[in-house]
């Protein structure tokens, strides 16, 4: 997935942002297809990133990896770690 140029400018911002946002949240939504993902407004993404946990597609997602490891241990479940990074 592409990247910023060396000035730090996002290349094709609308398209790229739609792609990574759709892929990242598409994981949780079960979509994973770029075409099926809705491009997110900045406010959507920012709001999601404030919460310690969030409900996406009926699944509760934690934000803290240490807490998630403890919870996984207590519940006897494996971890599903999704790393979403801006380009």
Give the interface with other proteins as residue ranges (CB under 8 A).
1-7, 19-20, 23-25, 27-34, 36, 38, 49, 54, 56-65, 68-73, 75-87
CA separation for the pair 5, 77 (Å, rounded): 40
Nearest CB to other proteins, comparing residues 3 and 13? 3
Within 8 A by CB and 6+ apart from 37, the residues are 18, 19, 21, 22, 23, 25, 26, 29, 31
Nearest CB to other proteins, comparing residues 14 and 78? 78
Q: From the CB of 68, what's the least distance to other proteins, in Å?
A: 4
């Amino acid at each position: 997935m592409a990247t910023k140029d060396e000035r730090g400018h996002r290349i094709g911002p609308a398209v790229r942002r739609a792609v990574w946002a759709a892929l990242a949240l598409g994981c949780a939504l079960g979509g994973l297809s770029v075409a099926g993902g809705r491009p997110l407004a900045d406010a959507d993404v920012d709001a999601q990133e404030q919460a310690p946990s969030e409900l996406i597609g009926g699944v509760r997602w934690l934000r803290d990896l240490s807490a998630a490891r403890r919870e996984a241990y207590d519940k006897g479940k494996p971890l599903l770690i999704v790393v979403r990074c801006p380009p």
